[in-house]
């Protein structure tokens, strides 16, 4: 039942309906594992029409089959976000399958490799393999091509579909490393994520007049398979948790609330924002 706002005399909307994602057509890049799969599954549970784009065809096949068996409306396509023509074609196919594109998660990214410090049993030590003088052009360019230029190409593809309809939601996965230095991560990763965050604000300003919002989710330390899956080690999790203000690591499910908020009408008047979901990681050390 709608209630009246005492301040304006206007009827309040059904607040819970604001968070509905039912029948929204959603594309998730990097959607076959980790954070992207969490986004895809959460919105599928809410009744959205999901298209998973990923490089790993085997994982796409397995996850799409699993989610379809659970009764969700999910399809998937193998796409490399550095192949911009293939990415555009995948957007065309998603639009043809579902009749529209409402929400796009620009989430695909790769493991950055070592930074200039390493964390081990003996504590924090310098790691020559991750130092600037050891950085190759190839390593730098690969991270930028996927983690920054891939985001640009995904947002561009989304804008081309959303502007004619004057409606849409674009959500970029950035990182706490876009705002603070994580010395155990390679420099290219931090540069790419910082670039993605500022690009998000640029795109948000340009697209606002078309009723298209552009925001970012900025994860902290999330347990995924990235980096060879070492984050699944309970001993590693316990050690890292001691450095976090909330004293625990996070999992993809911890990001789902922010994803649903930004994909739904609940965030109608929110654009150009980077929402940190990091347990206080970027605030500093509390204990």
Q: Is the pLDDT of residue 104 over 50?
A: yes
- Bigger pLDDT: 145 or 225? 145
Q: Is the pLDDT of residue 4 over 70?
A: no
* CB-CB contact of 43 with 26 (8 Å): yes
Q: How far is CA 258 from the centre of its chain?
A: 10
Long-range contacts, 88-91 (Cβ 8 Å, 24+): 88/157, 88/160, 90/27, 90/51, 90/53, 91/27, 91/157, 91/158, 91/160, 91/161
pLDDT, residue 278, reads 87
Domains (ranges, CATH) in the chain? Answer: 18-277 (3.40.50.720)
Q: Which helix (H) or strand (E) element contains residue 67?
A: helix 57-69
User: Residue 1 — very low, low, confident or very high, per pLDDT cuts 50/70/90?
Assistant: very low
Q: Is 189 in the active site?
A: yes
Q: Is the pLDDT of residue 44 over 90?
A: yes
Q: How far apart are CA 110 and CA 143, in angstroms?
A: 7
Q: Please compute the mean of the pLDDT values over residues 207-219 and round it to a whole number.
A: 97
Residues 6 or more apart whose CB falls under 8 angstroms from that of 279 comprise 220, 221, 244, 245, 246, 248, 249, 250
User: Residue 40 — very low, low, confident or very high, per pLDDT cuts 50/70/90?
Assistant: very high
Closest to 37 measured CA to CA, from 18, 56, 22, 23: 56
DSSP code of residue 114: B
Q: How far is CA 134 from the centre of its chain?
A: 29
* CB-CB contact of 81 with 31 (8 Å): no
User: Residue 142 — very low, low, confident or very high, per pLDDT cuts 50/70/90?
Assistant: very high
Q: Please compute the mean of the pLDDT values over residues 1-18 and round it to a whole number.
A: 68
pLDDT, residue 281, reads 81
Q: How far apart are CA 82 and CA 151, in angstroms?
A: 9
Q: Mind giving me the DSSP string for 192-215?
A: HHHHHHHHHHHHHHHHGGGTEEEE
Q: Exactly one of 98, 189, 210, 221 is catalytic; which is it? A: 189
Q: Please compute the mean of the pLDDT values over residues 24-53 and round it to a whole number.
A: 97
pLDDT, residue 287, reads 83
Strands 49-54, 25-29: parallel, antiparallel or unpaired by DSSP? parallel
Q: How far apart are CA 285 and CA 283, in angstroms?
A: 7
């Amino acid at each position: 039942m709608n209630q009246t706002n005492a301040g304006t005399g206007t009827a309040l909307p059904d607040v819970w309906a604001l968070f509905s994602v039912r029948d929204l057509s959603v594309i998730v890049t990097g959607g076959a594992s980790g954070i992207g799969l969490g986004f895809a599954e959460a919105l599928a549970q809410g009744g959205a029409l999901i298209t998973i784009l990923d490089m790993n065809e085997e994982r796409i096949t397995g996850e799409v089959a699993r989610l379809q068996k659970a009764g969700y409306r999910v399809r998937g396509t193998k796409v490399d976000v550095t192949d911009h023509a293939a990415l555009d074609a995948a957007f065309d196919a998603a639009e043809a399958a579902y009749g529209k594109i409402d929400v796009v998660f620009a989430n695909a990214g790769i493991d950055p490799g070592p930074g200039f410090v390493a964390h081990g049993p003996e504590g924090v030590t310098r790691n020559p393999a991750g130092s600037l003088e050891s950085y190759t052009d190839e390593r730098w360019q690969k991270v930028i091509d996927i983690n920054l230029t891939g985001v640009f190409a995904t947002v561009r593809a989304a804008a081309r579909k959303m502007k004619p309809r004057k409606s849409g939601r674009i959500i970029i996965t950035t990182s706490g490393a876009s705002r603070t230095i994580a010395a155990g991560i390679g420099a290219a990763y931090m540069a790419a994520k910082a670039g993605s965050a500022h690009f998000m604000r640029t795109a948000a300003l340009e697209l606002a007049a078309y009723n298209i919002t552009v925001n970012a989710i900025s994860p902290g330390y999330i347990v995924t398979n990235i980096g060879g899956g070492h984050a699944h080690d309970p001993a590693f999790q316990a050690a890292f948790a001691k450095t976090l203000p909330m004293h625990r690591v996070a999992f993809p499910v911890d990001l789902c609330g922010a994803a649903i908020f930004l994909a739904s009408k609940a965030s109608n008047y929110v654009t150009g924002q980077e929402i940190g979901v990091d347990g206080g990681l970027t605030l500093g050390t509390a204990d």
